[in-house]
Structures are given as C-alpha cells and as structure tokens.
Amino acid sequence: MSKVKIYTLANITPDLLYRQYESMKKFIKDEDWEFIVLNNTAIISPGRRKRIKEICKELKIKCKDVRFRSFISGASYITGWSLNWAYHRFCRWEKDTIHVMIDSDMFFIKDFNFNEYLGDNDLVGVHQRRENVDYVWNGIYFLKGGEIPDKNHFDIRLTTVDGVRTDCGGRTYHWLKRNPDLKIKWIEHTCHNDVSESNLIPESLRADYNPKFNFQFLEDFIIHYRGASNWSKSSDDFVNAKKDYFNKFMDEILYNNVRINEAPELYICKE
C-alpha cells in the first residue's frame, strides 16, 4: 500500500482546518497517511499567515509556506500557480506515494481509502469542461506524482485554448491530449443542483436545509462547503446560518454516525 500525502491550500478561512482534519482522522482508512497544509497567504496578510501556523502547530500537522505566491494576482491564477508549485516542488519526485490536492472547504463524511479508490488509475479527479475543452478540476485530484506518465508536463494552471478561457486546471487539457492512453477515474458529484429535492440529505437534517446553501457532494464521501470565503458578498445572516447548519451537519456525521443517501440522479460525471 502506498503512503498518502494530502495537501490543502489554506488562506482566507483558516479555521476550517479544524473540521477538515477532524473529518480526515475519522474517515480516512489508508494505513499510512499525512496531512500537509500549504500556507497560501500573501505577505500583506501576516495575521492570517500566523493564524494558519498556530493552528497547524496546535494540530501537530506540517505547514509549508507557498513560495513566491505574492508575485501572482487573481484568485484562479494564485490557486493554479500554488498547486503547480507544490506538485513540481514535492510530488513529482516521490515514488510509491499518492498525492492528494484538496480544497480547504472539503470534508470527508464517510470511510474512504485512497489506495483502493485510485486502484491502477493514473489519476482520480473531477471532470471539467469549457465548451470543447476538457480538463481536470483543481478542487480535488489525486495521483502518484512521481509515477504518472509524462509527469514533467503536468500543469494545473488556467489557460486559453482556441479562444476558450478555462478556469484553474485548464492546462491539464494539454497533458490529457499528449497522453491519450491515460487511465482517468472521474468522481461523480452534484453541482448546482437543489439537493433538497431528493433524499440525499439525511432525514434528521433535511428540515433545516436551505437550498441556497448550495453544498456540493462528491459521491457519498465528501461535502464541499463552497464559497467559504464569501466571495459572493452574502449577508452576515446568511453566512452565519450556513455555518451553523454546516456545523450541525458535521456533528451528526462525525458523532452520531449519520450518512447521506446516494442520489445518482443528481450526479454529474464525464460521459
């Protein structure tokens, strides 16, 4: 069984690290795994940078500063550059290691084994498409960074292809095209669906769910909070209501062994 290294970029909402690590300790079933936080704050935000370091020290997890991050501007550019830096700085040199890149607002809600899920695939991820451009979404993907085909050309940054501007992850389009025999496993997921219209939400949590919370579920093993940095400028009342519901949801999952119900009719995956 391969060692698993899980990386997350921490910046705007560092306190989510508590819940994320809590969910990992509860549900990740690989024998040898490690959580590593990439401190992705700008040098003009010393307070958040310090807070992330304090949390990591408290949780006894590794914390690495993303180098040169402050020379990049724009959220998608920053995310793509930082993930790419981490891959080429650490991951592509290590053999027999599964490298996981996961957003800081994703939380495990069911037992999960990365070795079993990856199997003999080259990469696991979420399929993204802009018009005719197919690529790997940056929110979560995992691979054996030191063993994937054509590893030197793996690039998770955004780009423009034939006039089509992609989001972060777009440059994997070129890697996919260069390597047509790659074995990719796409994770099924909900997207902008109103999940309250199905029985996906457990009955004990259904009555208080607001469709505007717009949580995303990756199959039945991850909940994606979405919009934790409040880039949409929602009201304080809404932000607090979403946080309160999320904490209630995670308490039920972590301490009362509640599980979501599979809802294949809501899932989106590659054709």
Q: Which of 128, 135, 112, 115 is nearest to 223 (CA)?
A: 112
> What are the tens digits of pLDDT across the range 49-81?
999 999 999 999 999 999 876 677 788 899 999
DSSP run (H or E) holding 206: helix 203-206
Residues 6+ apart with CB under 8 A from 30: 1, 4, 98, 113, 114, 115
Q: What percent of the chain has pLDDT over 70?
A: 98
Q: Which helix (H) or strand (E) holds 176?
A: helix 172-178
Q: How far is CA 71 from CA 51, 79, 102, 261, in A?
A: 22, 12, 23, 44
Cβ–Cβ < 8 Å for 186, 134: no
The pLDDT of residue 232 is above 60: yes
Mean pLDDT, residues 188-201 = 86
Q: Let me know the angle formed at the C-alpha of 160 by 157 and 162, rounded to the nearest 5 degrees.
A: 145
Question: How high is the mean pLDDT of the chain?
Answer: 93
Average pLDDT, integer, range 119-140: 96
pLDDT tens readout for residues 145-172: 999 999 999 999 999 999 999 999 999 9
User: How far is residue 94's CA from residue 144's CA, in Å, rounded to a whole number?
Assistant: 8
In this predicted structure, the answer to whether residue 269 has a pLDDT above a threshold of 80 is: no
Q: Please, which pLDDT band fits residue 271 given cuts at 50, 70 and 90? A: very low
Tens of pLDDT, residues 244-265: 999 999 999 999 999 999 888 8
The Cα–Cα gap between 164 and 171 comes to 12
Task: For the chain, give every residue range classified as CATH 3.90.550.10.
Answer: 3-186
Give me the helix-helix angle, 46-59 and 16-27, nearest 10°: 30
| pLDDT for the residue 72 | 73
Q: What is the pLDDT of residue 268?
A: 79
For 85-103, the pLDDT digits (tens) are 999 999 999 999 999 999 9
Cα separation, 211 vs 175, in Å, equals 37
Residues contacting residue 104 through CB under 8 Å, at least 6 positions apart: 8, 9, 10, 11, 13, 16, 17, 20, 228
pTM: 0.95
What is the fold, at CATH topology level, of the domain defined by 3-186? Answer: Spore Coat Polysaccharide Biosynthesis Protein SpsA; Chain A (3.90.550)
* pLDDT at residue number 230: 72
Q: How many CB atoms lie within 10 A of CB 176?
A: 15
